Structure 1
Amino acid sequence: MAPAFLLASSFTDSKLRFPLAVQDRVPSADASSALAGIITCQQNEKEQTASKTIRSETVPLKLSRRETILRSSGSALLLAFLNFAGERPDYLGVQSTPPSLALCPPTPSCISTSEEMNDPTHYVPPWTYNPKDGRGRKNPASKEKAMAELIDAIKTTKPDNFTPKVVKQTDDYVYVEYSSPLVGFVDDVEFWFPPGNQSLVEYRSASRREGIDFGFNRKRIKALRQALERYGWESVGF
């Protein structure tokens, strides 16, 4: 057998043998290039094999029903850590000049009795807990009684399954945070009993995330108004 020189091969996991006669006819530079090419192919093949192994270990071909539920639960938990609630506005409360609740931003996700009547996007009429054609004439309620009725309506009425949380309550003001059932979006809702003998209650309901609110604020106020009608309240204007 003719003498031969050896080159490693990653394709056959063996040695490539070249007769010395051929070696003599191949310049040393070409032989070096061939050897470098074989080594490069070997490295590429190892990287591809490792990549296939990682993919096969990390991505199952088919998820079981239990695995799907667990992953969905994990996604819901991740969403809970994100700040979907948003930051509480720093302008809430009774404004000083003039005394009223805050106006709405230029988005449809807010309604307020402080807005002008010619702004149907944001304006809503106030309530009265002593209507003249109702108990206001026969048996008017005190502000303290009306406040208790309002708190009861807030805690027992959950339109669209939003959860109410009374954050602040004084003798003439109530601030409530309403949290959505899934992602935890928060709406800020305020009620104010202005001074005077008209027995009025003004309110403001706004989403912290500006944009379209799918009518949640208006539906919430309507549900509360209907709950308060059982006590004898009425809406001023309709």
Structure 2
Amino acid sequence: MKKRYLLLCSLPLVGCSVTPPELGVSGETLKDCPITPNCFSSMDNDSQDNAPIIFEGSRAKAREKLVGIVNSLPRTTIIEERSNYIRVEFRSQLIGFVDDVEFLLSQEQGGRTQIDFRSASRLGLSDLGVNKARMKKIKALFAQ
């Protein structure tokens, strides 16, 4: 009984204490997802679900809209923001596990901006589809 109690009490600390993996831009792309199934990225072009966000406008306007959307979501902290890159930490409600989310904004011909993304759990193997659902929600909010 004591072991279970200690385990349950330590879970919030584990979720909060894990250091982030090496993140950021590699060349002109976001880094690859790990081999674990708890990552969802537009750089893994295997379905329409993970297609990048296309914004009809400048990179500055796309970044402004994206920051507004991210700030409207619960338990988010913007860790890094540059003209073409945004890194955000999302925390789960119950235990406080951290998901690292990155956005790379690329200006395209004709004034369009492509926003690639990578959303990955910092800990564990499965995320029960949370990262995919989060990115689908952000894409839907962006389309409004």
Q: Is the 8 A contact 1:113 1:204 kept in 2?
A: yes
The higher-RCO structure (CA 8 Å, 6+ apart) is 2
Partner of 1:204: 118
Pick the aligned partner of 1:129 from 55, 59, 64.
55
2:20 paired with 1:94: no
Output aligned runs, 1:164-175, within 5 Å: 164-175=76-87
Output aligned runs, 1:1-238, within 5 Å: 79-80=11-12, 82-85=13-16, 86-90=18-22, 92-96=23-27, 99-117=28-46, 124-130=50-56, 141-158=57-74, 163-197=75-109, 198-230=112-144
SS in 2 for 1:202: strand
Distance 2:107 2:143 in 1: 22
Distance 2:108 2:79 in 1: 25
Distance 1:213 1:79 in 2: 15
How far residue 116 of structure 1 moved from its aligned partner, in angstroms, is 3.9
Distance 1:79 1:217 in 2: 20
Distance 1:151 1:142 in 2: 14
Identical residues among aligned pairs (%): 30
Which one has the largest radius of gyration?
Answer: 1
How far residue 223 of structure 1 moved from its aligned partner, in angstroms, is 1.0
SS in 1 for 2:101: strand
Q: TM-score, normalised by structure 1?
A: 0.52
Letter in 1 for 2:70: I
Question: Counting strand residues as a fraction of each chain, which structure ranks higher?
Answer: 2
Per-residue deviation, residues 107-152 of structure 1 (Å, max 9, x unmatched): 11001112243xx5xx81101011xxxxxxxxxx322111111011
Structure 2: stretches of 5+ with no match in the other structure: none
Letter in 1 for 2:60: E
Distance 1:220 1:193 in 2: 18
Distance 1:116 1:127 in 2: 13
